[in-house]
């Protein structure tokens, strides 16, 4: 069913420009099927294509309905390019319906979405559409400004079809501004470039007008016929009427009156079906001229009556147009201000992101340099510390029972051990952070690692009169993971529990399993962790509110290392604690 939906949609999409009537049949079936299979993403795309097909059929009110339905879908927030297109196409329909303020609103919404997602192609079309609005309002200089902006974007994108479309817009503005030389230059550039069918028909019409004004009727007829044929083949009704009207004007100038009248009546019929008064007002003037020359006064009288009605409406519309010009300028300037604010925000955001990316790269380099320095420093500290340790032991052996010398040498050994412990922590952290640890899995009895950890920390616990308790709930169960990494995680947790527990307390180590998952739990009766502490316990070099109870050293690396190592073997390290009530760390790991 999904494949059938895709095929129907694809066919409708391919036909929407060349045969929009047939396209509608496929798109209606595709939309119904999309509803059946509840494919909302497909529904949005089909509504967009349906709106475009209806636009090509000059069914602008129906197209508005489709585009607005598409905008109501939540899925559209995941497709900003499509949303920008729908908003712009909706604006075009309002232009065709002469609802300029609505058109401007949707155009600037389209521009905003395009700026947010970097959709340059649509920004180009927004500028061209603004140019069309100003042409409709007979504000040709403003129109030219927007068409020139569209050309800048098209050149930046190096898109030939977009460049040709901008050349067309600029050429038509120059023609309307009474500069036929510049108009011809840009329109000829548009005609030789890569064009859409619409651009082709539009360009041909304007070139026909230019050559007609120059009384080069052969060239004018050539372009008018070319524009008419392209429009017929591609259902471009506006330019089908306009180019047919140009052929009528050329025939009239050549003295072929019957042919001229035939062309003009056909053009008027097409334009009346579109209700495009801007087209058939001019066509009727040429038709009356032809009737006058041929002496068909009855037809001339009927044409005059229609022209009078159109002219009355035209004058009324001209008054409204002046008001619309003022209103439109206000709305466009207001929207421009908002768009400029949005553009500045985007520029600021882009600059901020570039700064952040630059800082991240610098931090990455500094972190790498720090790790290298740490590795070198730690490595170079080991040899002199080993010499100090050996020397202190020799002094103790040769002390001859002198208590003061023995005490001093014991202190040296103790402090050297603290330094070695710090070095080991730094090395472990450095290796874990750089990802240089290789995972070596092996199978072992899950409880064996707990017994090894207890044996290693038995003496340290006894020095503080702490009791290590082990409870095993999964005798004989095997675990397959990296033994050394899990051992180091548990060592860090037990070491922490010993360090922060007061004398004469208990440390409980327990092991449980459920559905192939093992739970190693280390619980103490120490000061616990405050909420503030819990937010930063896994950060490097964190200094927490609790302090070691017998002046032991604390690097602030143990828990950071445990957390990093846990992620390497896909273990989950969790803490449950309240200030003053001890802490319980759980290492959860799968048997596979």
Q: What is the 3-state secondary structure (H, E, C) of 448-498?
A: HHHHHHHHHHHHHHHHCCCEEEEEECCCCCEEEEEHHHHHHHHHHHHHHHH
Strand arrangement of the beta sheet that strand 506-514 belongs to: 467-472, 506-514, 517-524, 583-590, 572-577
Tell me the pairing of strands 441-445 and 517-524. Answer: unpaired
Residue 183 lies in a domain: no
Query: What is the reported pLDDT for 293?
Result: 84
Query: What is the reported pLDDT for 177?
Result: 92
| HSE, side-chain direction, 13 A CA sphere, residue 483 | 12
Residue 282 lies in a domain: yes
Spatial distance between the Cα atoms of 199 and 231, rounded to a whole number of angstroms? 10
Using an 8 Å Cβ cutoff, are 430 and 424 in contact?
A: no
Smallest Cα–Cα separation from 119: which of 151, 160, 82, 90?
A: 82
Ordered per-residue pLDDT tens for the chain, 592 residues:
778 888 889 998 888 888 888 999 999 999 998 888 889 999 999 999 999 999 888 788 899 999 999 999 988 888 999 999 999 999 998 887 777 778 888 988 898 898 888 899 999 999 998 888 888 777 889 889 999 999 999 999 999 999 999 999 999 999 999 999 999 999 999 998 788 888 999 999 999 999 999 999 999 999 999 999 998 888 888 889 899 999 999 999 999 999 999 998 888 888 777 655 566 667 777 888 888 888 887 777 777 667 656 655 544 444 444 444 445 555 555 555 555 555 555 555 556 556 656 666 666 666 665 565 555 555 556 566 666 767 777 777 777 777 777 777 777 776 676 666 666 666 665 666 555 567 788 899 989 999 888 888 888 888 889 999 999 988 778 899 988 888 888 988 998 888 888 888 999 999 998 888 999 999 998 888 888 777 777 776 566 666 776 666 566 677 887 888 888 888 999 999 888 888 999 999 987 6
Q: Give the domain-ending residue among 295, 321, 353.
A: 295
Spatial distance between the Cα atoms of 64 and 542, rounded to a whole number of angstroms? 60
Q: Give the domain-ending residue among 295, 329, 345.
A: 295
Residue 279 lies in a domain: yes
Residue 16 lies in a domain: no
Residue 556 lies in a domain: yes
Query: What is the reported pLDDT for 406?
Result: 78
Spatial distance between the Cα atoms of 502 and 526, rounded to a whole number of angstroms? 6
Query: What is the reported pLDDT for 321?
Result: 44
Task: Tally the domains of the chain.
Answer: 2
Residue 51 lies in a domain: no
Q: Which domain holds residue 233?
A: 196-295
**Terminal alpha carbon distance of the chain:** 41
Using an 8 Å Cβ cutoff, are 252 and 282 in contact?
A: no
Q: Which residues contact 573 (CB under 8 A, 6 or more apart)?
A: 489, 562, 563, 566, 585, 586, 587, 588
Query: What is the reported pLDDT for 324?
Result: 47
Query: What is the reported pLDDT for 320?
Result: 47
Q: What CATH number is attached to the domain comprising 528?
A: 3.30.565.10
Residue 481 lies in a domain: yes
Query: What is the reported pLDDT for 68?
Result: 93
Using an 8 Å Cβ cutoff, are 109 and 126 in contact?
A: no
Q: Which residues contact 158 (CB under 8 A, 6 or more apart)?
A: none
Spatial distance between the Cα atoms of 541 and 574, rounded to a whole number of angstroms? 19
Q: Give the domain-ending residue among 257, 275, 295.
A: 295
Spatial distance between the Cα atoms of 340 and 203, rounded to a whole number of angstroms? 32
Spatial distance between the Cα atoms of 111 and 117, rounded to a whole number of angstroms? 10
Residue 161 lies in a domain: no
Whether the full predicted model's pTM is greater than 0.85, yes or no, is no
Q: What CATH number is attached to the domain comprising 212?
A: 1.25.40.10
């Amino acid at each position: 069913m999904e494949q059938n939906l895709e095929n129907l949609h694809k066919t409708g999409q391919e036909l929407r420009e060349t045969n929009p009537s047939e396209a509608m049949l496929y798109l209606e079936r595709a939309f119904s099927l999309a509803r059946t299979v509840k494919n909302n993403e497909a529904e949005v795309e089909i509504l967009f294509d349906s709106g475009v097909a209806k636009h090509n059929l000059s069914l602008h009110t129906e197209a508005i309905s489709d585009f607005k339905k598409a905008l109501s879908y939540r899925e559209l927030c995941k497709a900003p390019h499509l949303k920008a297109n729908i908003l712009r196409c909706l604006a075009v329909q309002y232009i065709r319906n002469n609802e300029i303020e609505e058109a401007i609103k949707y155009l600037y919404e389209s521009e905003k979405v395009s700026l947010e997602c970097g959709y340059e192609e649509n920004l180009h079309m927004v500028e061209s559409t603004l140019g069309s609005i100003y042409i409709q309002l007979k504000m040709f200089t403003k129109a030219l400004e927007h068409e020139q902006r569209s050309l800048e974007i098209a050149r930046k994108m190096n898109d030939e079809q977009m460049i040709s479309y901008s050349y067309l817009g600029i050429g038509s503005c120059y023609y309307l501004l009474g500069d036929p030389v510049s108009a011809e230059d840009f329109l000829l550039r548009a005609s030789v470039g890569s064009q859409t069918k619409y651009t082709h028909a539009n360009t041909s019409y304007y070139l026909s007008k230019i050559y007609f004004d120059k009384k080069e009727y052969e060239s004018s007829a050539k372009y008018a016929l070319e524009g008419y044929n392209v429009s017929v083949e591609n259902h471009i009704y506006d330019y089908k009427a306009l180019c047919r009207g140009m052929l009528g004007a050329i025939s009239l100038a050549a003295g072929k009156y019957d042919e001229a009248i035939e062309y003009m009546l056909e053009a008027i019929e097409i334009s009346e079906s579109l209700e495009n008064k801007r087209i058939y007002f001019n066509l009727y003037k040429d038709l009356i001229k032809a009737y006058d020359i041929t002496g068909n006064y009855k037809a001339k009288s009927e044409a005059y009556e229609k022209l009078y009605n159109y002219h009355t409406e035209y004058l009324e519309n001209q008054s409204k147009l002046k008001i619309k010009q003022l209103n439109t300028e206000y709305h466009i300037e207001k929207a421009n201000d908002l768009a400029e604010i949005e553009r500045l925000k985007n520029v600021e955001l882009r600059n901020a992101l570039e700064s952040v990316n630059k800082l991240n790269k610098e931090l990455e380099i500094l972190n790498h340099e720090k790790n290298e320095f740490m590795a070198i420093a730690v490595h170079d500290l080991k040899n002199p510390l080993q010499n100090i340790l050996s020397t202190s032991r020799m002094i103790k052996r040769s002390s001859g029972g002198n208590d003061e010398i023995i005490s001093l040498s014991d202190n040296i050994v103790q402090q050297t051990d603290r330094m070695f412990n710090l070095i080991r922590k730094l090395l472990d952290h450095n290796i874990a952070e750089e990802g240089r640890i290789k995972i070596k899995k092996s199978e072992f009895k899950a409880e064996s690692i707990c017994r090894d950890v207890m044996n290693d920390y038995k003496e340290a616990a006894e020095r503080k009169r702490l009791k290590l308790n082990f409870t095993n709930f999964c005798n004989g169960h095997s675990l397959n993971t990296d033994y050394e990494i899990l051992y180091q995680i548990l060592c860090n947790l037990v070491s922490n529990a010993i360090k922060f527990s007061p004398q004469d307390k208990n440390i409980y180590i327990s092991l449980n399993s459920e559905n192939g998952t093992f739970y190693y739990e280390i619980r103490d009766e120490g000061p616990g962790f405050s909420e503030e502490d819990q937010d930063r316990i896994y950060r490097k070099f964190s200094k927490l509110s609790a302090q070691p109870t017998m002046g032991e050293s604390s690097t602030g690396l143990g828990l950071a290392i445990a957390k990093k190592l846990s992620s390497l073997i896909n273990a989950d390290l969790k803490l449950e604690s309240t200030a003053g009530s001890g802490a319980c760390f759980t290492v959860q790991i799968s048997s596979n």
